[in-house]
Amino acid sequence: MESLQVIKQRFGIIGNDMQLNRSLEKAIRVAPTDISVLVTGESGVGKESLPKIIHALSHRKHAKYIAVNCGAIPEGTIDSELFGHEKGAFTGATSTRSGYFEVADGGTIFLDEVGELPLTTQVRLLRVLENGEFIKVGSSKVQKTDVRIVAATNLKMMEAIERGKFREDLYYRLSTIEIDLPPLRNRKEDIHLLFRKFASDFAQKYQMPTIRLTDDAVNALVNYNFPGNIRQLRNIAEQISVIEENRTVTLQQLVEYLPQQGRNLPSVISNSKSNSDFANEREIMYKVLFDMKNDINDLKKLTLDLLQNGNNSEFQEENQHLIKKIYREEPSEVENKVEVVYPQKTTYQQEKTEQYDFSETIIEDETLSLQDKEFEMIKKSLERNKGKRKLAAKELGISERTLYRKIKQYNL
């Protein structure tokens, strides 16, 4: 078995982080077996390196190695890509096609972004893992394959399982051995080493001197968060190598290539707002208040209708409480408001407890008077608006549904 240092040199892996070394050691030890492996880690940490190591150190190293990005294949064609299809299986299937599992028989398949597989494809993959069988799309013939599967994902698989996005039984079949690669921000001692390696590679590629960082620039680089991990560090090294004329890069120059430098700091929210922001908020507030006004008007009218039909004392007491709740005023002020609606009503009789008995405020004559006035108002409004209920309802200050009910009530 090759040593860890030899493996690093052979596959171009830079770094001495303990967690990185542990992950590589697990890959080396599991390589000679046929156990399924799941590689986890954030996007950009270099997960694609481990499947290559596992395949190269296995007894399958002389057979095919196929890497498949599951997230890049459309859902409608991924079954055909992985398992193949028969001629005429679907529109455009003009000939029989072999899938990756048939082509890679005896070798290794690397399923990158396996968490993006559709649930129907996950069922097919589970069958391959359990007994090495698959069926082409449009076929009924069961075929056998001897393929080792190494999968990778940047998703938190247990959360995906809880959301119903990934099958739990498939997860446990794939993750017989699970290898987690650490994010670059947890490998601070390796950051400068990787940067120097990338800078040297780009200097050779573009035939120019290698860039170097000042001490304060190195310190800033090492303490940067790197949300894009190694992929982001490589891009930064390439940008600086191409753009900067001075081969010694200072802190001020480096900061220009580190986006969102303060991403881990508390956000500073400006208290100032533009006039357009205030205008938009004011417009929204006006609309909300206008809608509330219409709702309150409808509620008042509904309450008065209930009061007209309330005969028993219990019902009257409930209505009295509801009137007070709607207007949020003292009984005397409620009296004034009701008097505006009922101009012909008699004076309220006040009890010693200073509570009003609504059974004496609404009498049959007043109800008939109100209905007559309501009938006339609705009729005139409909005439003015040429029978258009929506415009009439808006003019009367009631909802279109309430107006429709009144029209039926008065046979207008």
Residue 268 in any domain: the answer is no
**Coil vs helix vs strand at 87:** coil
| pLDDT tens readout for residues 343-355 | 444 444 444 434 4
H/E segment holding residue 375? helix 364-384
* Residue 230 and residue 134 in one domain: no
Residue 273 in any domain: the answer is no
Report which of residues 239 and 2 the model is more confident about: 239
Domain that holds residue 20: 4-182
**Phi, psi (deg, nearest 5) at residue 137:** -65, 130
* Residue 162 and residue 29 in one domain: yes
The reported pTM is: 0.62
Average pLDDT over residues 82-91: 92
Neighbours of 382 (CB within 10 A): 20
Rounded Cα distance, 376 and 380, in Å: 6
Count how many domains the chain has: 3
Find where tokens 């007994």 sit: 131
* Residue 166 and residue 195 in one domain: no
H/E segment holding residue 205? helix 188-206
Residue 13 in any domain: the answer is yes
User: Domain holding 219: CATH number?
Assistant: 1.10.8.60
Checking if the pLDDT of 48 tops 80, the result is yes
* Residue 48 and residue 128 in one domain: yes
Give the pLDDT of residue 387: 82
* Residue 305 and residue 348 in one domain: yes
| pLDDT tens readout for residues 401-410 | 788 788 878 7
* Residue 134 and residue 197 in one domain: no
Rounded Cα distance, 171 and 148, in Å: 15
Give the pLDDT of residue 363: 40
Beta-sheet pairing, 177-180 with 37-40: parallel
Average pLDDT over residues 75-94: 91
Q: Comparing C-alpha atoms, which of 187, 252, 182, 268 is closest to residue 220?
A: 252
Task: Give the 3-state secondary structure of 251-307.
Answer: HHHHHCCCCCCCCCCCCCCCCCCCHHHHHHHHHHHHHHHHHHHHHHHHHHHHHHHHH
Compute, in degrees rounded to 10, the torsion defined by CA atoms 13, 15, 20, 23: 30
Token pair belonging to 199: 């800078």
Average pLDDT, the chain: 82
* Residue 12 and residue 153 in one domain: yes
| pLDDT tens readout for residues 111-161 | 999 999 999 999 999 999 999 999 999 999 999 999 999 999 999 999 999
Q: How far is CA 394 from CA 302, 305, 384, 388, in A?
A: 17, 20, 12, 10
254, 213 contact by CB (below 8 A): yes
